[in-house]
Structure 1
């Protein structure tokens, strides 16, 4: 994994650490505590496939058909939160407006090729869940462009996409991850050959229809407040 610039700022003070310890002892972190798995995969910027990023997803289920993931640039304690991804079933994806479908990517190739995996989890166990993931769609937004060396989250959030066929992922990225996590993508591909993608096939509007999407900022007039705001209701 490429080294990234250090985040600027003074080191965390002892007093800050003490306050954090105190708040952690009395507060609850229910949303974060729902995180139950770590997925490692690769994302690329929808408008530029040459910019490929190792993405560590820490995910929790909302229900059987939706999970939400915090995305970091590594699994280490000092990892940077670089984005989020929502993962939904094919059933939910088909309810989305057509314009929205373009923002979502399929997971079939990622899973069946072996490049999406659960670090440290035995293959037989992770394949039980990945067979489900292969049939889902994901919407990923990255806020921190660590691949270009940004030491803070600069610029606009960008839509990310996932791999959909052989020849897209850089060999050096694949080899680096295989070495660090002791995984074999080719072997996993063979083990996952039985898996299936979405029941109706990958939707033609998914994966940005094979085109690039780029977030851009546009200046518009701010709508004034209404002359007669709705009455406040107290419950």
Structure 2
């Protein structure tokens, strides 16, 4: 987890699970983690899940606070939150150079 901590929750996924569930192939997508409260599922959905599965999300949040050391976020690492712009990857034909 310490190695992943400074990736800021960003990774490139190439498995379009909804299109090809049996084979890990698909176009690359830049995925990002939640960076603050209120970005995840609606509170009512979490409450229902907790009741159904016997979980306590608030207790898990409190427990996880001690997992990793705190650190300063590098400027620009979560720029999408300010600009509301993302990144897409587009396939294009190109010449191969030997």
Pairing partner for 1:188 from 60, 74, 92: 60
1:169 aligns with 2:40: yes
TM (norm. structure 2) is: 0.61
Structure 1 counterpart SS, 2:30: strand
Residue 197, structure 1, aligned to residue 70, structure 2: yes
Task: Give 1:1-235 correspondences, 5 Å limit.
Answer: 66=3, 87=4, 90=6, 104-105=7-8, 138-146=9-17, 148-151=18-21, 152-171=23-42, 172=45, 174-175=46-47, 178=50, 179-180=52-53, 182-192=54-64, 197-198=70-71, 201-207=72-78, 209-210=79-80, 211-223=85-97, 225=98
Length, aligned pairs only:
89
Name the TM-score, length of structure 1 as normaliser: 0.31
Q: How has the CA–CA distance of structure 1 residues 176 and 149 changed in structure 2, closer, same or farther, with 3 Å as cutoff?
A: farther
Q: Which has the larger radius of gyration?
A: 1
In structure 2, stretches of 5+ residues that fail to align are: none
Whole-Å Cα distance in 1 between the matches of residues 76 and 94 of structure 2?
Answer: 29
1:192–1:155: structure 2 CA closer, same or farther, 3 Å change rule?
closer
Q: C-alpha root-mean-square deviation of aligned residues, in Å?
A: 3.1
Per-residue CA distance 1:36-69 (angstroms, 9 max, x = gap) = xxxxxxxxxxxxxxxxxxxxxxx8xxxxx53xxx
Identify the structure with the greater strand proportion. 1
